[in-house]
Structure 1
Amino acid sequence: MPDHELRDRLDIEEAIRRYATGLDERRWDHWDLAFTAAGIIDFTAMGGKRETRDEMRERLSRPDPDWLFAQHPVVNTVITLAGDHATAFSHFQMETGRRSGSEGEIIRTSGGGAYEDELVRTEAGWRIAERRVSLRWKETRRVRDEITRD
């Protein structure tokens, strides 16, 4: 594999990871580096919204005192390069936690699905132009909170 192709693949995987870390950690500087300025995230396959990167960031940046955590490991990424365009398919697993309203208990949601990405090479590097998200499984349950929280 030529060095430039390896570099492209690593940059694409970094953009994909920036989505997850930016979202999970509410690190919007990472989030913005995942997408083109007009980037789209499409959750319609699972009954959600199709919105721009900025619309989703705005919605998720609103204060939510019940939100505790999220993690989205991304695995099994397969990238197809075509010049300054690429597609990527990845599996993800999600874990989220919210306050339940009951002392010592949280609402934990687990799930998994797939990302189908269209990416473009920009002057700043590879960015996601459109991400389509599908959910394959989901489970929501109340569990004991084993972490000391402030």
Structure 2
Amino acid sequence: MTFTLTDLVDRAEIDDALHAYAQAQDQNAWHLFDGVFAPDAVIELRGLPIPPLGPAELRGFLQQYNRTRVSGQHLITNTLITVDGDTARSVSEVLHLTLQTTDQEGTLHRSHGGSLYADDWTRGADGWRIRHRVVTQKHLDERDIEVPADLLATISAGSCVDWFTADLHTIGASA
């Protein structure tokens, strides 16, 4: 398969948007989320009792979920992208691990799973945007886990940093 420079740029822009979506959730960097979906996009969360959502509804849903979240990671991998003019399709495997608070001190709820994102894209004046996403759950393991206080403090401290603007030389440095 031979790619032109335009093909490579298109793929890089789509890949950046996929990662911006994950970083928006994981780092509460919602300004990144705003550049991922077309305004009239439809997002389907297959297997959940939730009707199709628009971008603003999905953002609200995720922000509500994040209120009890201590830490989260979404790893997007094995992405295949096909581009046809101003439209594209990508299929990505997604692994996620989320830790949420519970009513019990020292206990967190761990959600660990895998999903598949199937995305239809459109290119507009503001770049590549998802116009339709279907999320399907591939596996899910949820359970409560005991977390030592020192580990919870470390996880919480790392999750509270705005890594996009932080001075990396001073984070965690002793006074």
TM normalised by structure 2 equals: 0.79
- 1:24-43 CA-to-partner distances (Å, cap 9, x unmatched) read 22211100111111222110
Question: For 1:48 and 1:22, how far apart are their aligned partners in 2?
Answer: 24
Equivalent in the alignment of 1:107: 109
Question: For 2:8 and 2:62, how far apart are their aligned partners in 1?
Answer: 34
Deviation at 1:61, TM superposition (A): 2.9
* 3-state SS of paired residue (2:57): helix
- 1:61-91 CA-to-partner distances (Å, cap 9, x unmatched) read 3486522122110000000111000000000
Question: For 1:64 and 1:34, how far apart are their aligned partners in 2?
Answer: 19
Structure number with greater Rg is: 2
Deviation at 1:141, TM superposition (A): 1.3
Equivalent in the alignment of 2:170: none
Compared with structure 1, are the counterparts of its residues 64 and 77 closer, same or farther at alpha carbon in structure 2 (3 Å cutoff)? closer
Equivalent in the alignment of 1:54: 56
Question: For 1:26 and 1:48, how far apart are their aligned partners in 2?
Answer: 25
Equivalent in the alignment of 2:97: 95
The alignment yields a C-alpha RMSD, in angstroms, of 1.7
Moved more, 62-71 or 98-107: 62-71
Name stretches of at least 5 consecutive residues in structure 2 with no aligned partner. Answer: 158-175
Equivalent in the alignment of 1:6: 8
Question: For 1:93 and 1:117, how far apart are their aligned partners in 2?
Answer: 16
Match of 2:42 among 40, 43, 66: 40
Aligned length: 149
TM normalised by structure 1 equals: 0.92
Deviation at 1:142, TM superposition (A): 1.4
Q: Does 1:122 align with 2:124?
A: yes
Aligned residue runs from structure 1 range 124-143, under 5 A: 124-143=126-145
Identity %: 28
Equivalent in the alignment of 1:144: 146
| Partner AA of 1:125 in structure 2 | G
| Partner AA of 1:60 in structure 2 | L
* 3-state SS of paired residue (1:10): helix
Question: For 1:15 and 1:83, how far apart are their aligned partners in 2?
Answer: 18
| Partner AA of 1:141 in structure 2 | R
- The structure carrying a bigger strand percent of its residues is 1
